Structure 1
Amino acid sequence: MNRRRKIYEGKAKVLYEGPEPGTLIQHFKDDATAGNGAKHEVIDGKGVLNNRISEFVFSKLNTLGIPTHFVRRINMREQLIREVEIIPIEVVVRNVAAGSLCKRLGLESGTQLPRSIIEFYYKDDALNDPMVSEEHITAFGWATPQELDDIMALAVRVNDFLTGLFMGVGIQLVDFKIECGRLFEGDMMRIVLADEISPDNCRLWDVKTRNKLDKDRFREDLGGLVDAYREVAQRLGILVEAENALTTGPRLVQ
């Protein structure tokens, strides 16, 4: 196999040069991090599950006409994606009070919010991804007002879809984080959903037990991270091909 050119490596994924111009290969690692990398472990099977769950969600979004960078899954750990110019903003949609929102506003975890709330954070690990306003985003040129409108519209549509998807399998979507990018096609540019959607960037609670089925299990030292991710995949009906790989540790399946 020819050695692939690495384009970028983050905490949980690696991007490689794609087979065609304008494409990349997104590889999901087994690394689990919290606190912008301050806490770090390698957990066998995590990348396989995130790849499969994200593939499932992005495929559904594509079918619904919600624009994303996702093309197709290549193997158990990799996806073919369109190359986009990432906008340096993390978009967080909150439906239920949890995490930093509780700390900032003194809310009890699990409090149903009066409506869904969209927050923005500037992507910069050195600054600990500070929360920013729409004014900051447009003033510093990270996104134009029209791009911000498109991003917020995407976030609302994704939230509507995910809320229904997870509620249908007995899971409450507490909050989630997305990233968006600019996809250039000839002289045209449009805003699309990028990165991933998985238990790594969603808070997911069992509706009946409130058992956490997301990365908070790692953040809070609850254990059972892969078991929780596997539970999400099983409920969504997508954990078939991955089962053998997970019982023997991570491996690539072409």
Structure 2
Amino acid sequence: MAKGKKLYEGKAKVLYEGPEPDTLIQYFKDDATAFNAEKKDTIDGKGALNNRLSEFFMNGLTQIGVPNHFIKRLNMREQLIRSCEIVPLEVIVRNYAAGSMSKRLGIEEGTQLPRPIVEFSYKDDSLGDPLVPEEYIIAFNWASQQDLDDILALALRVNDYLSGVMYGVGIKLIDFKIEIGRVWEGDFMRLIVADEISPDSCRLWDIETGQKLDKDVFRRDLGNLTDAYTEVARRLGVLPANVAPATKPTIVH
């Protein structure tokens, strides 16, 4: 399927015009970044794995009635998605303390939270995606109170789905982030899950060993990132359990 002109390039993906109105082609890059892009590398195979895993999760959400932007996977690195207006927020759902929460509050990593906690950060790399309270979101018209209620409901449904799927393959869902988009159907606007769901946007720990199977492997120099993502894909049945990666993962500096 022929791509149109490039519309946007982020740290991990590129968006192109799609073949039909209100569609885009989303290309998954091999680039890995951390600490607001202060740490960068290109990791062979990462984009293809994230493409397949995001397809798996988005299809799963569709099956349980959670609206999202995914239409179909086109090839190993591209998928056709629905165009939407992205709400300028990252929606973070935490089941266990980790990462920035542990640093902010002095809570030991891996501590189970009394209930899932939903946080919002303002999407602006130059500001470091700062956490923002609901009052700011409404005051600056990034989203209405009704939008926030709907976003919260969507986020918790995604959490229920992901937690169950991961637990079934021996993985603990520590936290994750999603983005939300607005789509219009005539005069009616609704909110959908957008961007991607992959080990890039989740913290995933092996239930038995605590081994990290997410981007913290890259952030903290804990091993080979592609191996970690491949393990997640194998457990979920996205890749055959007995097939080795087609190419040896390499890091290009």
TM-score by length of 1: 0.95
User: Where does 1:7-46 land on structure 2 (aligned, <5 Å)?
Assistant: 7-46=7-46
Report 1:59-70 matches (<5 A): 59-70=59-70
Cα distance in 1, alignment partners of residues 133 and 29 from structure 2: 32
- The CA distance in 2 between the partners of 1:249 and 1:228, in whole Å, is 11
Deviations 1:86-137, CA, capped at 9 Å, x for gaps = 0000000000010000000000111111111000000000000000000010
Q: CA deviation at 1:249?
A: 6.9
Alignment of 1:69-148 (within 5 A): 69-148=69-148
Residues 45, 246 of structure 1: 8 Å contact kept: no
Which 5+ residue runs of structure 1 have no aligned equivalent?
none
TM-superposed deviation, 1:246: 3.6
* Amino acid aligned to 1:83: S
Shift of 1:36: 1.2
Contact 2:151 2:180 in 1 (8 A): yes
CA change 1:115–1:7 in 2 (3 A) is same
- Secondary structure of the 1:132 match is coil
Residues 3, 233 of structure 1: alpha-carbon distance in 2 compared, 3 angstrom cutoff: closer
Which amino acid counterpart does residue 146 of structure 1 have in structure 2? Answer: Q
Structure 2 vs 1, CA of residues 219 and 249 (structure 1 numbering), >3 Å: closer, same or farther?
closer
Distance in 1 of aligned mates of 2:133 and 2:92 = 12
Q: State the one-letter code of the partner of 1:151.
A: I
Measured in 2, the distance between the counterparts of 1:192 and 1:3 equals 23
Aligned residue number for residue 226 of structure 2: 226
SS in 1 for 2:98: coil
Letter in 2 for 1:199: P
- Structure 2 distance, partners of 1:133, 1:3, is 39
| 1:104-253 → structure 2 map (5 Å cutoff) | 104-240=104-240, 246-247=246-247
Matched residue pairs, number? Answer: 249
Percent identical residues: 65
Which residue pairs with 2:58 in the alignment? 58
What is the deviation of 1:161? 0.5
Distance in 1 separating the partners of 2:3 and 2:27: 14
Please give the alpha-carbon distance, in whole angstroms, between the structure 2 residues aligned to 1:58 and 1:127: 29
Q: Which runs of 5 or more residues in structure 2 are unaligned? A: none
* One-letter amino acid of the counterpart of residue 13, structure 1: K
Between the aligned partners of 1:248 and 1:154, the Cα distance in structure 2 is 38
Encode CA deviations 1:6-56: one digit per residue, 9 max, x unaligned.
011000000000010000000000000001111110000000000000000
Tell whether the 8 Å contact from 2:16 to 2:25 is kept in structure 1 after alignment: yes
1:181 CA drift (Å)? 0.6
Change (3 A) 1:108 1:181: same
Partner SS for 2:16:
strand
Cα pair 2:3 2:25 within 8 Å, conserved: no
Q: Is the 8 A contact 1:151 1:191 kept in 2?
A: yes
1:247 is displaced (CA, Å) by 2.1
